[in-house]
Amino acid sequence: MADLISGAVLGAVFAELLLVIKSGVKTTIMFRSRLKSLESTLESIKPIIKEIESLNKQLDRSNEEMQGLVNLMKVGTTLVMKSTKVNMNLYKMYNYSRKLAELENDIIKFFQIYLIVICRDNKEVLVEVKEIQLALGSLSLMIEGGWSKKGMVSMGLGVFESCAVPKAAEFVVGLNQSVQQLKKWLLDGGVSVKIVSAPGGCGKTTLVQTLCHDSEIKGKFKDNIFFVTVSQSPKFTTLVQNMIHHKGKEVRQIETEELAIEQLQQFLKEIGGVPVLLVLDDVWSESKSLLERFLFDQLKDYKILVTTRFELLSFGTPHKLDPLNHEDARKLFLHSVTSKSDSYFGGSIELCDTLIDEIIKRCKGSPLALSVVGKSLCGKHPKVWKSKLLDWSEDHFVDSNKAIFDCLRRSLDDLDGMPVHKECFMDLGSFPEDCAIPVTTLIDMWIELHELDIDGIHAMGIIYELAARNLVNLIATKHDENHGDGFYSDLYIKHHDLLRELAIHENNQGLIHERKRLNLDVHGNKFPNWFNSQEEQTFRARLLSISTDETFSSQWSNMELPDIEVLVLNLWSRCYTLPPFINKMGRLKTLIVVNHGFFPAEIGNLTILGSLPSLKRMRFERIKIPPLPSITISNLQKASFFMCHPGDSMTAPNLSEIDISYCSELNTMPMDLCNVVSLRKINITSCHNLSALPYRIGNLSSLQVLRLSSSLNLSGLPESIGELKNLAILDISYCFSINKLPDEIGRLRQLKELHMNGCHYLSSIPKTVINLEQLRYVFCDSQRAQLWRPYMQRLPKMKLNIVQEDLSLCWLLN
């Protein structure tokens, strides 16, 4: 082990393999092209190996993870030597060519997955990740091939908003002239600011995204394009931290804005003479002073591109993005309507030109309105279209902004026949603007608020329907075959600011004490007037969203909210105390606590959770849970922890499901869980320090789902796994360190699905798998599939699903 830590063994086997390959390139013709490709790959990973070894030494960290690579290279050396001695035998030629290709792929996969280990650890990311990032560039493992440099940076602390450019829109019209004008400005040198001004929903963000994906713009600015969403309540220190972290630099706590300005200036200087493009998206008029803080005249080539609904004339003449002309508006509208509507017009949409033109006219050239209205009319009879026009004609628009908003509201009225869908859309106003909302969070809300099924099937139907109408954007962060069992950890939704404002506007109709939903936005320690003047009336809301900023001191007044069933807490401060009035929420069923700040937040007053008799579901994101006296939450059914330290002080005797994701400090599954015999689902995903499962896991006789995906240091499964008589789904995908399965796995007589894709060092399958009579699906890569083929005759119900691996990290940018 000492030799491994020093790198002697790794360096020796690497040098030996490279030497053998170079010799083979010179002496053999048969596999020369294959060996040259392998040589090129090894040359590319040289600097990565050096950086990994340096990183491990600085962190006083064991190099055990590299043992797999050492073994792989030893096997590779033997393989290359044998291949150089192959005679003109067609079968052997084919066989060795295939094995050499697999060797190269295995080496690449090793580095993809091993570097995920590095990037998922908060401490490790802080030590010169930038050098590893640069070394990766030579591997050519980009977004299509399996690795993204920006994606790698985004794995770091995991608690920041990405500054990477979002994916460009698939269908764009009417922006060519603006793109060309702004492109010319960007390609010129110097330091300058350009404001792109237009009403909401006119395509400002689409325009700047299109520019950032232009080949000439990317060629000039390369990796120095920062795409920062500012929104209504920006935190300058957090924006600076996000930018620094985006480049793989060490991020420290920044106490004041003055220090943030100094750090930003120093950071931009360190980038050097390379041109920098900073996109500040969705800047509000009150953020003028914030924009000024990003200006540094001494830089050589520094462009700031700003999108805003306001003109901000102090920064020069804005580039005004005009509404779409009629021709472009028609293209976008027809694209949104799709072919379903054509059938109602005798197969030709042109037969209804007058009707279409009138609808387009009402949308005032707004891409958002055209898209949403088009989707709402998709597949509807012309009489429905005419009815909508009559509704619109009753109003006299004061300006285009009101017209666009009214178009969106009329489209929302189309959900009147789907009351639950409309209510779910209204719930989205409870989350901050420009926020990617986890689908699992919405499911936890809607199951209790709208009495949907506990597996989320109905909720997903609602989400897909809202997405089909362009009322939300559904983001799949990565391919995942697990959606069938109600596990949607890779799905998020976002919606346009105008649609969020629409939901809030509709929620705010009527007397405040009678509203279904309340949004409590606290700036500093200033509460809204309605909160301070509650009088003797009781609020009847069922959903309460509380948002506080980083200056809030957790000084709460009393509040009577007896009917609240769902509470959403949006935090930006590092220390936060749960409101004491929560203990009066006798009907509270779902609690969601989300920290939006850069660093994890510490939460106080958690003991209050023990006084909530109806609490069934709770979710914590980016939270440090301090040591506490034991808390018993009697009726809790589901607990979710995302980028947290779950702690071991909470007891939930009736817990049915627990989700733990990206919790880097989790080394083993909490022992207390082994006493919760009611557990049906355990999802521990992307907790790379998880190294072992407790033997007592066999006590969980009711367990139906055990998901351990991306637990990269998990070395194996305990023999007691065989005691899980009701286990139907076992997921060990990307458990990189597992090299064998216990014989006791054959005792899982109810097992129906086994997910093991990405288990690259799993070299054998125990013969006892022939006892898995209920096994229907095995998800794995092609090499692991070969291990299963000898047993297929004995398992006639089993189907092998070959998973095309997607190790790209670009999905994390969402």
Q: Where are the domains of the chain?
A: 2-140, 176-320
Do residues 717 and 735 make contact, with C-beta atoms less than 8 angstroms apart?
no
The pLDDT value given to residue 512: 86
From residue 342, alpha-carbon distances to 330, 346, 384 in Å are: 14, 7, 14
Measure the CA angle with vertex 699, ends 695 and 702; round to 5°.
Answer: 135
pTM over 0.75: no
Radius of gyration for the alpha carbons in the chain, expressed in angstroms and rounded: 29
Kindly report, residue by residue over 296-349, the tens digit of the pLDDT. Answer: 877 788 899 999 887 787 888 888 888 888 898 888 888 888 744 444 444 444
DSSP state for residue 246 in the 8-state scheme: H
The pLDDT value given to residue 15: 82
Dist CA 596 CA 233 (whole Å): 12
Do residues 406 and 484 make contact, with C-beta atoms less than 8 angstroms apart?
no
Ramachandran sector of residue 510 (left: φ over 0; alpha: ψ -120 to 50; beta: rest)? left
CATH superfamily of 176-320: P-loop containing nucleotide triphosphate hydrolases (3.40.50.300)
The pLDDT value given to residue 156: 30
Dist CA 730 CA 424 (whole Å): 32
How many C-beta neighbours within 10 Å does residue 153 have? 26
Measure the CA angle with vertex 455, ends 773 and 669; round to 5°.
Answer: 70
The pLDDT value given to residue 346: 44
The pLDDT value given to residue 594: 94
Residues of the chain with pLDDT under 70: 1-9, 46-66, 88-91, 94, 112-161, 232-233, 272, 339-351, 391-403, 478-486, 532-537, 628-629, 646-649, 805-814
Dist CA 647 CA 536 (whole Å): 40
Dist CA 727 CA 721 (whole Å): 9
The pLDDT value given to residue 805: 59
Tell how far CA 114 is from the center of its chain.
20
Strands 575-577 and 601-604, bridge-based pairing: parallel
Dist CA 768 CA 772 (whole Å): 8
Kindly report, residue by residue over 252-302, the tens digit of the pLDDT. Answer: 778 788 888 888 888 888 876 788 899 998 888 777 788 888 888 777 888
How many C-beta neighbours within 10 Å does residue 704 have? 19
Q: Which helix (H) or strand (E) holds 306?
A: strand 301-308
How many C-beta neighbours within 10 Å does residue 211 have? 26
The pLDDT value given to residue 49: 65
Exposed e or buried b for every residue in 240-263, given b needs 16+ CB within 10 A? bbbbbbbbbbebeebeeeeebbeb
